[in-house]
Structure 1
Amino acid sequence: MKISYCLICFLLISFSVFPQNSPQRKIKHTWYSTDGRNELRLLLADDFALYQSQIWEMDSIQPGKYLLKNLDHEKQISISKAGENFFLEEGAVKISVQPEKSTNLKTRQVGQTDVSDSFFKKDQVLLQGLIVPKDSMPTTVSVIYNHAFGEGQRQFSSSVDDQGRFKLIFPLDYPQEVMVRAGSAIFTFFSKPGAQQAMVVYEKSFVNGIEAWTTLKELDFMGDLAVENEERRLLDPEFMKVRDYFVTDSLQKALEPMDFLKYRIGLMEKHQAFFNSYFDSIPVSPLTKEISLRGARIYAANDLRRYIWLHGGINEGRLNPVDVPDSYLQEVEKLMTGDLADLMAPDYAGLIREFTMPIQPSEMKSLIGKMDEMTYDFFKKQELNSAQSEAVDAWYDQIKKGVPRDSLILSEEYKSLSKTYLNQLSDFFLEVQWPHLLAKIQDLELIPRSSVIATYLDMNYQSVGKEIPLSIQNQLEEINLEPRILAIIREEIEDFERGKNERFVEWVSIAANGENILSQLKDKNPGKVIYVDVWATWCGPCISEFKHAATLKKDAPEGVVFAYICAQSERGAFENLVKKFGLEGEHFFLSQTEFEQFDKEFKITGFPTYLILTKEGKLIREGIHRPSSGDQLIRQLQEFVSR
């Protein structure tokens, strides 16, 4: 009878204190803040929890009390109820929570995140979370985002386990919008360098087609910027209802330039009026307001630049760009301010790329004309036989007469010459484009001007493996670029120069594979203390620590081996940095699959991570000093060696 009474009490407590979520979610309970911000505070599943932006293994001590474990860390938390109120407790900390999100948001508290010190801050984002699948579990989750100083998108992916859990670590240089893709769920969230964030994605709330734009997605956010991301979750589908995307798309093709300019500026003002009205109706954080209003302006500027190549439509599979008046371009430039915070606008990187490319027919005609002159002069300086010289003259005569390029009659001699000198000829367009670009950006503010230059150099040189000419390098100081953007360009130039040296550092050992890393190290270095540095090529703090490597190794006690584990990086960048800092030691370059296996065992929460493998083969991961700590690390290593 006593056992039955206890069981009844347990069931009553479970159903009264802990509301049951729908069984298909495989989530037992979710708890949110009670101030209207709807920040996820705790998620409980069968044997794990999402708490403080981390995934924890979980044991239920007794109803309402839980032990959370994450490697060497343990936390005991509890959920209690007093009257109609619920409380989440950890030690002396007790906060009010509720099992559902608030629906009355008129008096909600708003986010107060300040991102002003997060620009040009090379750091990483630790994103963890849970996918609740619609049908079968997605196998991967990816984050995708643009960069204001380069051409391509950046993408990082990770596997999703059979319970829907995932973890991603990716670099970020400034606060911006990031896209997430997991199965049929595609959405964006806002992040910043150094953020620790978590989310729960309910895939069934995502629909296909145009309806997806205005459908409210079911997402939970935890950790940094959780409140702002919850605000944007509610705001975005409302904005999509007034975005007028399809109307704008049709008018881009129908209206003349100045008419489209008038329409698009008017639409921008409509968007800004919508945001201001929304902000008057419901409390919203300063950051959400700023991103929205800046985004409306940059979105308009991007649409106006896109008009140039969209207005003419497609003919025979090719776009037909059009010319626009100078006054049109001047109005677009007015929308490109010198505020650093414009980088946060979702369309900023796209706008910079649009501005970088010479799209207008008049631009292309001028540039190609100059390129043809350079080509003719180049050929005339070569030692050509009479047939080749006549072929060049015949080609250039047609050019001077204005024969369309697709109607040129090219002899076999000319085709052969063009093939022989292809590398030299292909550089001529870049040579004439550079001064054109400098003239084009002279009236831009400092930040967009610097962004255009960085993007141009990445687009035409670094990303395609070409060396930036010295003539351009020597002009960079004269252009008056934002110093931090100029430093990024200079660093990439140095990296390229170093990368040309094919000889690898001769005393560096690179493991053949990343399997059973610690076993490999122990077997190869018996009786040694092994200092392990887990790093990534894009990790600013990792690279800063490398500056202390030489001093560390000079002062370290005998019997210490240094090992480096590089993950989530490109092989070329890995080799480049090892050369740059002369990282003597044993190296492991992990594939994504190898890193995920390594991470399952060691729960890496960010880069850099420092570990020590003792002489006895025991792994120590807590309290390990960084190379920059100097004598502190030396004393720590001496202590392990002397044991």
Structure 2
Amino acid sequence: MKNSSLLKKTALAFFLSLITITVSAQKTINSPSVGFNSNGSTLKITKIVTSDTATVLWFTITYPAGQWIRIPKDTYLQDNVGSAKYYIKKTIGIPLALQYFMPKEGVVSYQLIFPKVNAKATSIDYGEEGDNAWKIYDIALAESKSLLPNAIYTSWYNKNNSNLEVAFFNKEIVYNNKIWSYKNIVKKTNSANTTISITNGKETKQLSISGLKNNTINLTIDNKTVQLSKNQTDCKRIIQKETYKLPIFKNDSAIFSGYIKNYSPKLATKTLMLYIDNIISGEQENQIIEIQKNGYFSTKVGIYHPERVFLRSDIGNENDIYLEPGKDLFVIIGDEKTRYAGELAQLNEDLSLLNKTDLFNYEDLQKRIVDMKPNDYKTYLLDLQNTELYKLDSVRQLGTLSEKAYQIKRLDIICGYASHIIEYNWNYESANKDTKKKAEKYPDDYYNFFDQKIINDELSVISGAYNTFINRFKFLPGINPERYSYTYNYAAMFNTLKDNNITLTELDKSFEKLISSDGLSLKIDSTEKPIQDAWLKEHDDFIKIFNTKNASNYYLKLIDSAFNINKGILVDMMNAQDISGPIVTQLSPINGNNLLYALSDINNQFLKDYIKLQNNETQKQLIANKKNGGYFINQTPKVEADKILDNIISKHAGKVILVDFWATWCGPCLNGIAEIRPLKEEMKDSNVVFVYITDESSPLATYQNLVPTIKGQHYRLKNDEWRYLADKFKITGIPHQVLINKEGKVVNPALGFLDKGQIKKLLEKHL
């Protein structure tokens, strides 16, 4: 008993000593300083506890109720001493590697426990494997020693006009739409003033901060003092009354720049992407923006009217951005919300708030439309539209909304709902896909809701929804024929050549003699067939334009009879897209005489001039592309169809191969190819090959024009060969991508729609 009691006392003493040692070895950092946080708006580190046995991070996450989050098993820490990763051991308050559904409060606190990090480490990075996973860099393992109070590190607005004046971050300061670094900070003795010396490499400035109280400070710079507030709503707002007026078109560019909060060069993301809807070509254009090491980015965006563009990145925020020719916009992203500065700040702030009032919900519509007849569906959507317009007018009456934002949003509502109403048959059949119920025929009065003053008004181009409306209007169900049969009228075609002052050659004169008296057929035999073939080849561009015009005019006559709609900007845009689209997307310029003929049905002079400019730029691009290199047009292997792919693979033995089945006329194919263009540059020294396969449906001339813009190995197969591969990989539509590993085995016969980051991860997995 005594021995047992002594043993217990000894064990207890030893246990208490361990606790004492453990407690003494612990270090707690409350509200640690954090660098880049990919989820800064939702995820906060509130505390770090380090000890001899573990590193514990305390988190609070704010996320919509009912949605799920997950802490993956590959979650890790990495310190600033070595390259080792410390993988998660345990969680408290949230399950590990399982879906956790957020409670109704939308807020959860939890702890993640990792092995101890290097004792010499002064900072750690938190993350999950993968480029797009959560990342938090430069988490300090010591209390901040900054002379600036933590409350200073945020965005500050001018109390007199609500403009973003300055923003303080860990490493950089945003001031006057430029990025500055801290050079020196001096806190004056016996004074509340702090002087900060900042530099951008070219110039140095002195800032003085005083009077930090109730979320306000006084800032003195260049001998001027202004009062600032971190709450923009507490500032006086000077509402911009200027409106958009005609002429709205202007061939110019906007300056778009910004800063990514606490950006770290350790991020895999080195670029942003702008998506720009070109309303004249009807196509979406992509523009890559490079991020500098300090998180700054800037680019010129070629636009010809005020318009909404879409900013996409792997860094938290994905935003609609509104730009105007000749004006600038500066944004801060990666913060709790996007901050705006520059000439277009107020407009973008207003539109960002207005977008939250949208009532249209596609999922809700799919539930409602199942049993709706066309006019019931139309009435339902018009009621939503009227409610949104009423709410918009109510906000305007408060006097807190800029007039341009009101103009844009009003047109967005009208054009957006017009497009939704046109889409009844598609939405109905999508909602009833299980029962395969067909939509009813549209009643004769179905389209009587069109506001012709708006849809044919040049100012409508300021709405991001107008481009979609044009597309829907080009294919109106119940009016646009599902099939359009066309008979060649050789006489009309030939007379049009003459009417457009296209000089007739000897070949033209020989061909004219072959045209029958009715003009619809040719009088030819085997000896005259070469004349026909040569003439059709020589005038291929003209014939395409002639046939496009005929089809367009036929449809426009149907529209006129249905709506009595006058020719205006809407019709001009429809015609412009027919002409401009192939010039831009297929790099198929039109020669001078044919171009004038193509433009003859367009009344708007700007559209004509712009298409001419596009045509000239495409011609220059074709010349430049052929000098760039990086593309290889291969002869189709002279083997049986079932051996073609094996032959292609054998040429790239030992390499990972991404095979892309595409066509020159396939818009999604071309968008996807443009999307991964930066990836090819990133992986140019990797053991990866990009192979592009098309068939004879890609016209040879267009194919030869486009290929120089697509770096990789190219093959143009005969239709029979294509059909064999289409059957092998179950290709029912393009684009279609296939992944082949270094051993030449197909590891994924259909990748699906993946973004650049996902494709990179797959390729690296097999390297």
TM-score tier, shorter chain, comes to 0.5 to 0.7
Partner of 2:239: 110
Distance in 1 of aligned mates of 2:201 and 2:558? 56
Distance in 2 of aligned mates of 1:458 and 1:315? 36
Alpha-carbon distance change, 465 to 191 in structure 1, aligned in 2, over 3 angstroms:
closer
* Conservation of the 8 A alpha-carbon contact between 2:253 and 2:300: no
Give the secondary structure class of the aligned counterpart of 2:481. Answer: helix
Give the secondary structure class of the aligned counterpart of 1:368. Answer: coil
Partner of 1:482: 604
Partner of 1:222: 341
Candidates 452, 473, 480, aligned match of 2:596: 473
User: What is the CA distance between 1:290 and its match in structure 2?
Assistant: 1.8
Distance in 1 of aligned mates of 2:629 and 2:361? 55
Distance in 2 of aligned mates of 1:42 and 1:434? 54
Distance in 2 of aligned mates of 1:282 and 1:137? 44
Alpha-carbon distance change, 182 to 365 in structure 1, aligned in 2, over 3 angstroms:
closer
Aligned residues: 442
> Does 1:48 find its partner at 2:177?
no
User: What is the CA distance between 1:149 and its match in structure 2?
Assistant: 1.2
* Conservation of the 8 A alpha-carbon contact between 2:542 and 2:594: no
User: What is the CA distance between 1:265 and its match in structure 2?
Assistant: 2.2
Alpha-carbon distance change, 437 to 76 in structure 1, aligned in 2, over 3 angstroms:
farther
Distance in 2 of aligned mates of 1:119 and 1:93? 39
Kindly report which structure 2 residues correspond to 1:195-594, keeping only aligned pairs within 5 A, or say none.
195-202=327-334, 218-237=337-356, 239-240=357-358, 242-250=359-367, 254-281=371-398, 283-313=400-430, 324-325=442-443, 327-332=445-450, 334=452, 336-356=454-474, 358=475, 360=477, 363-365=480-482, 367-368=484-485, 370=487, 383=525, 430=548, 432-439=550-557, 443-444=565-566, 446-468=568-590, 473-474=596-597, 476-477=599-600, 479=601, 481-495=603-617
Partner of 2:285: 154
Q: Deviations over 1:410-463 (max 9, x none)?
A: xxxxxxxxxxx9999988863542322443666246222322222221235543
Alpha-carbon distance change, 108 to 437 in structure 1, aligned in 2, over 3 angstroms:
same
Give the secondary structure class of the aligned counterpart of 1:153. Answer: strand
- Give the percent of matched residue pairs that are identical in Structure 1 and Structure 2: 14
User: What is the CA distance between 1:112 and its match in structure 2?
Assistant: 4.8
User: What is the CA distance between 1:348 and its match in structure 2?
Assistant: 1.2
Question: Cα RMSD between the aligned structures?
Answer: 4.8
Partner of 2:231: 101
Distance in 1 of aligned mates of 2:261 and 2:437? 40
Give the secondary structure class of the aligned counterpart of 2:400. Answer: coil
Alpha-carbon distance change, 424 to 42 in structure 1, aligned in 2, over 3 angstroms:
closer
* Conservation of the 8 A alpha-carbon contact between 1:42 and 1:49: yes
> Does 1:186 find its partner at 2:324?
no
* Conservation of the 8 A alpha-carbon contact between 1:147 and 1:154: yes
Distance in 1 of aligned mates of 2:369 and 2:579? 30
> Does 1:81 find its partner at 2:205?
no
Distance in 2 of aligned mates of 1:251 and 1:434? 35
Candidates 143, 149, 158, aligned match of 1:33: 158
User: What is the CA distance between 1:42 and its match in structure 2?
Assistant: 0.8
- Structure 2 residue identity aligned to 1:340: E
User: What is the CA distance between 1:297 and its match in structure 2?
Assistant: 0.9
- Structure 1 residue identity aligned to 2:332: V
User: What is the CA distance between 1:186 and its match in structure 2?
Assistant: 1.6
- Structure 1 residue identity aligned to 2:574: V
> Does 1:65 find its partner at 2:203?
no
User: What is the CA distance between 1:150 and its match in structure 2?
Assistant: 1.7
* Conservation of the 8 A alpha-carbon contact between 1:80 and 1:87: yes
Structure possessing the higher radius of gyration over alpha carbons: 2
User: What is the CA distance between 1:20 and its match in structure 2?
Assistant: 3.1
* Conservation of the 8 A alpha-carbon contact between 1:48 and 1:55: yes
Partner of 2:297: 166
> Does 1:122 find its partner at 2:252?
yes
- Structure 1 residue identity aligned to 2:312: R
Q: TM-score, normalised by structure 1?
A: 0.57
* Greater CA drift, 421-430 or 457-466: 421-430
* Conservation of the 8 A alpha-carbon contact between 1:113 and 1:225: no
Distance in 2 of aligned mates of 1:244 and 1:511? 46
Higher helix proportion, which one? 1
Q: Deviations over 1:581-617 (max 9, x none)?
A: xxxxxxxxx99xxxxxxxxxxxxxxxxxxxxxxxxxx
Distance in 1 of aligned mates of 2:480 and 2:272? 42
Distance in 2 of aligned mates of 1:51 and 1:480? 47
Structure 1: unaligned runs, 5 residues or longer: 1-10, 22-27, 206-217, 389-420, 505-509, 514-567, 569-589, 592-643
* Conservation of the 8 A alpha-carbon contact between 1:137 and 1:162: no
User: What is the CA distance between 1:382 and its match in structure 2?
Assistant: 5.8
Distance in 2 of aligned mates of 1:108 and 1:235? 17
Distance in 2 of aligned mates of 1:13 and 1:441? 71
